[in-house]
Amino acid sequence: MNPKEEEAKNGGDETANRDSSDIPALLVNTTQIPQPISQAQVQQISPAALAYLGDAIYELYVRMFFLWPQQRPEIYHRLVVAQVRAETQALHLRSLTPHLRSNELEIVRRGRNAATGRPKRLNPEIYQQATSLETLVGYLYLTDYPRLTELLQKLHLEK
């Protein structure tokens, strides 16, 4: 076995031994913005586009959180869906609000105002709050990744 194969094998063993407390560190080390984006560029991105990005980042975080201990894909799916549904996102936004800075509260407000169409089963306020959370996540992913990680670690995700 060559050194690269051995390193890959050893790295695989370490990954198998991780527990869920390693997830935030793993996210910080593996999810990096390809290139920096200026504040002027971020201001040109619509809140709906930030929410679109934030939805993906939030779901990725939740999926990684539930990777350990290993389970069947159906169980992963059930756990993740429970966390990414609008009602849960709205609860998460409310729990984070006391920790938000004034510029982050402004992004939340912009996200709330950008929430237009909604599923009929949802209360409009819940949908606005979920969109606000996604907008905040998208914004912080582009502008302040360490702050995003800090806030995501405050969420009460339950296994």
Identify which of 106, 123, 124 has the alpha carbon closest to the alpha carbon of residue 115: 124
Q: Which residues contact 22 (CB under 8 A, 6 or more apart)?
A: 68
Residue 55 bears catalytic tag: yes
Options 19, 22, 55, 144, the catalytic residue: 55
DSSP calls for 36-50: ---HHHHHHS-HHHH
Q: Which residues contact 23 (CB under 8 A, 6 or more apart)?
A: 64, 65, 67, 68
Distance CA 77, CA 63 (A): 9
**What letter does residue 2 receive in the DSSP assignment?**
-
Distance CA 115, CA 83 (A): 19
Q: What is the amino acid identity at position 26?
A: L
Catalytic residues: 55
